[in-house]
Chains A and B, each alone.
Chain A
Amino acid sequence: MAVQLAESPPAATQPPATPPAQTTAADTNSAFGHALKDTLITGLIALGLLGPLVGFETVVRDTGAGSALGLAYRPVVVAVMVAIIMVGRLVLNLTVWSPNRVVKTRSGPSVFDRMGTAVGPVVKPALFAFAVAFPLLAAMLMGGLNESRYLIDLGILILTYVMLGWGLNIVVGLAGLLDLGYVAFYAVGAYTYALLATSAPINEFFSGLLGETFWANWAFWICLPIAGIFSGLWGMILGFPVLRLRGDYLAIVTLAFGEIIRLVLINWVDFTGGGAGIASIPRATFFGVPFTAGEDGFAALFGLEFNPMHRIIFLYFVILALALITAFATVRLRKLPVGRAWEALREDEIACRSLGINTTNTKLSAFATGAMFGGFAGCFFAVRAGFVSPESFTFDISAMILAIVVLGGMGSQIGVAVAAAVMLGGMEMLRNLGFLKQIFGNDFDPSLYRMLIFGFAMVAIMVWKPRGLVSTREPTIFLKERKAVSGDLVKEGHG
């Protein structure tokens, strides 16, 4: 794979007006004074920003006559935070932003990109092998199947988000439609399975026809495609009226739809069970063979000793397969005319229209495809948890999936997977780090900071590397030779 490094020779990169090599003492002094002044102003602003909300804490004190509000003071925390900001700013002022520093200009792929391109071909099979071998590794590492439950559960969670990220990637990364209500399709998928699987009439119909346990055993496998199709249909229904809108309007309307669906799930108690949700949803089966201890269970059939972990490991492979199907479908779709139309649409809608692409149909197909994969993931969520409630489908989830897609670099498959693993896995790891508790006190809970870090990371990535961490793109069409290009040269994601 030929990487085009457009690094110009050093002589050309230095602008003619570079500062002279010997800076006088006065220059250095003024630079230092400037940096110091800037640091002081930063400190004042930081104090203004953090002072009120961090310095004072409103505490609800429950007294006998009811609750009253009081104030607690945290001057030390503010002082420490402001000091950290000031020191950071001073260091940056004297090094990176120093006026005496010669800026190296370079177009072409950055270090991350070159690393991504160089390591990329190795990373993909390695990651795939790791994902397949993960349950075995976890069991060996923890010394037993039952002990590895925590790790495998975490793996399932990460893979669910990887799949959701890849699904949303089709909408945001490929077609360039910012969808803030992706969780709605996740919810539609989950509720489709939950409602169909627990429905008594369907159960009676099949028990008369194919035996008592048929529906309980096969519900997941029959409902999985139904959930996907149904979510895709909802994607079309919701998408049809709104896809004429421009980018940020579309984002807000999809957000509104996501909230409407959640509110309907909460308030339509007769149909969805309301806020209490739907419980005792049939579990997943090994293609009709339930994971039970009985005669016709999975363990007995394969001559194994019964272990509840079989079901968990099976679920892990189900979500792995689903995620890989999503990735594979995306890769193939990119090479089809419709995939090319998506990317063209993202780059320039008016040009697309003038070239005779039906933009409404193209957008709708992207929206519906993304929604369908969200539906599959939702169906899987319902079967794994055995319980669904509207609480699981808040805007926070949409935001988290979007954050994963953005961090991974919109359009990059591997980036999304890595971002999901880092963000979710990293948070879980933080939770288990004992020394954090020693520093911040015993009631320190890193999970509280999860969304805070997600939000911060989204802003930081947009400001620092708007194309995401993995930002090289491989063109789908090329003449003679495939050249990786920096993401900076393309619009929303892929090149």
Chain B
Amino acid sequence: MDVFVQQLINGLTLGSIYGLIAIGYTMVFGIIGMVNFAHGDVFMMSTFIALICFLLLTTVLGITSIFLALAIVLVVAMFFTSLTSWAIERVAYRPLRGSFRLAPMISAIGMSILLANFVQVAQGPRNKPVPPMVTDVIVLMENNGYQVTLAWKQVLIMVVTAVLLAGFWYLVQKTALGRAQRACEQDRKMASLLGINVDQTISLTFVIGAALAAVAGVMYLMYYGVANFADGFVPGVKAFTAAVLGGIGSLPGAVLGGLLIGLIEVFWSAYFSIEYKDVAAFSILAITLIFLPQGLLGRPEVEKV
């Protein structure tokens, strides 16, 4: 029971991070129907931007309040990551609209390789360990010396995710931008005929997705305390799995999928084998796509001629 509760907490934390990344996949897929393969690497880049900003703030500028530092890091990382994602869309995806079916996907794969190796060349291949940031924990239960703890950083991650989701939900459902996005999702040509700037809407979708990925990146850095150039690929695929599991194109689905993937991964590691936890996540991806391609909350896809 104790182990179960502890793993539940860990799983929800991990799932929140996956959910935040998954939103970026699901939105881009919804609006232009492509898998933004580079999104995982955009997330990885954001951890590095956050790391550099954090080091600048703490070692050079001497800010001691960890929460102030984290807030600044969050804003800076969101800004630079969004800029990167905007530039990627502008350079690598926009010219390919209307090209043949596989072109954007191949371009995205190239971009993913480019980003991962750019960071490797610029920052070196070593793991970058960060000193633990928020270390306080709350002891929830104690049983025969086994403590079930809820770390403050876990609370922080879950709260930030929930708040962002609420704000984001409002953005998509109630604002003009959200309406434009949903219109582009349904019919891009019609939307542009009705005076919606389609290119701008798509750019903004990329920017929002990247900003959420940057939040996930800061959380990831805070939670695991390590940044590595190769850490974009596997979280990226898992977040994509989450988006597919929840029903691609559906925002609540992305978060639900993220939480499920996080929980499955953590419980799998705790009760079965830690070596095969990635195999579990990849298998879920394959199984979902084969047997439930529309996901849990998605609409079934109709093939148009």
CB < 8 Å: which of A69, A172, A176 contacts B128? Answer: A69
Number of A-B contacts (CB under 8 A): 190
Least distance between B59 CB and chain A CB atoms (Å): 7
Least distance between B85 CB and chain A CB atoms (Å): 10
CB neighbours (8 Å) of A208 from chain B are none
Most buried by B among A406, A457, A458: A458
Least distance between B214 CB and chain A CB atoms (Å): 12
Given contacts A255-B237, A350-B305, A452-B117, contact A58 B51 (CB under 8 A): yes
CB neighbours (8 Å) of B286 from chain A are 241-242, 253, 256-257
Tell yes or no: B56 within 8 A of A by CB.
yes
- Whether B55 lies near A49 (C-beta < 8 A) is no
Most buried by B among A69, A245, A251, A399: A69
Tell yes or no: A126 within 8 A of B by CB.
no
Given contacts A56-B56, A58-B48, contact A48 B123 (CB under 8 A): no
- Whether B107 lies near A459 (C-beta < 8 A) is yes
CB < 8 Å: which of A71, A180, A466 contacts B55? Answer: A71
Return the CB mask of B79-104 against A: 1 if under 8 Å, else 0.
01001100100011001100111111
> From A177, which residue of chain B is reached at the shortest CB distance?
B102
Least distance between B13 CB and chain A CB atoms (Å): 24
- Whether A466 lies near B122 (C-beta < 8 A) is no
> From B126, which residue of chain A is reached at the shortest CB distance?
A60
CB neighbours (8 Å) of B101 from chain A are 176, 247, 491-492
- Cα A458 to Cα B114 in complex, Å, equals 9
CB < 8 Å: which of A52, A57, A69, A454 contacts B130? Answer: A69
CB < 8 Å: which of A253, A256, A492 contacts B100? Answer: A492
- Cα A253 to Cα B49 in complex, Å, equals 30
CB < 8 Å: which of A59, A263, A395, A455 contacts B278? Answer: A263
- Whether A242 lies near B290 (C-beta < 8 A) is yes
Tell yes or no: A249 within 8 A of B by CB.
yes
Task: Count A interface residues, CB 8 Å.
Answer: 62
Interface residues in B189-227 (C-beta closer than 8 Å to A): 227
CB neighbours (8 Å) of A402 from chain B are 106, 109
CB < 8 Å: which of A53, A68, A463 contacts B49? Answer: A53
- Whether A260 lies near B283 (C-beta < 8 A) is yes
- Whether A249 lies near B289 (C-beta < 8 A) is yes
CB neighbours (8 Å) of A451 from chain B are 113, 116-117
- Whether B130 lies near A245 (C-beta < 8 A) is no
- Cα A172 to Cα B123 in complex, Å, equals 34
What is the predominant secondary structure among interface residues of chain A facing chain B? Answer: helix
CB neighbours (8 Å) of A448 from chain B are 117, 120-121
- Cα A403 to Cα B111 in complex, Å, equals 12
Tell yes or no: B233 within 8 A of A by CB.
yes
- Whether A53 lies near B48 (C-beta < 8 A) is yes
- Cα A89 to Cα B278 in complex, Å, equals 44
Most buried by B among A52, A56, A456: A52
CB < 8 Å: which of B87, B130, B233, B278 contacts A49? Answer: B87
CB neighbours (8 Å) of B110 from chain A are 403, 406, 454-459, 462
Tell yes or no: A70 within 8 A of B by CB.
yes
Tell yes or no: B105 within 8 A of A by CB.
yes
- Whether A462 lies near B117 (C-beta < 8 A) is no
- Whether A178 lies near B102 (C-beta < 8 A) is yes
With A244-B290, A256-B286 given, name 6 new contacts (CB 8 A). Answer: A56-B55, A69-B51, A259-B237, A454-B110, A491-B101, A492-B102
**Interface, chain B (partner A; CB < 8 A):** 34-35, 45, 48-49, 51-53, 55-56, 59-60, 80, 83-84, 87, 91-92, 95-96, 99-107, 109-124, 126-131, 227, 233, 237, 240, 244, 273, 275-276, 278-279, 282-283, 285-286, 289-290, 293, 303, 305
16 A-B pairs with CB atoms under 8 Å apart are A45-B83, A48-B83, A49-B87, A53-B45, A53-B52, A57-B122, A69-B55, A71-B60, A248-B105, A350-B303, A396-B113, A456-B114, A458-B110, A458-B114, A462-B110, A491-B101
**Interface, chain A (partner B; CB < 8 A):** 45, 48-49, 51-54, 56-60, 67-71, 172, 176, 178, 180, 241-242, 244-245, 247-249, 251-253, 255-257, 259-260, 263-264, 266-267, 350, 395-396, 399, 402-403, 406, 448-449, 451-452, 454-459, 462-463, 466, 491-492
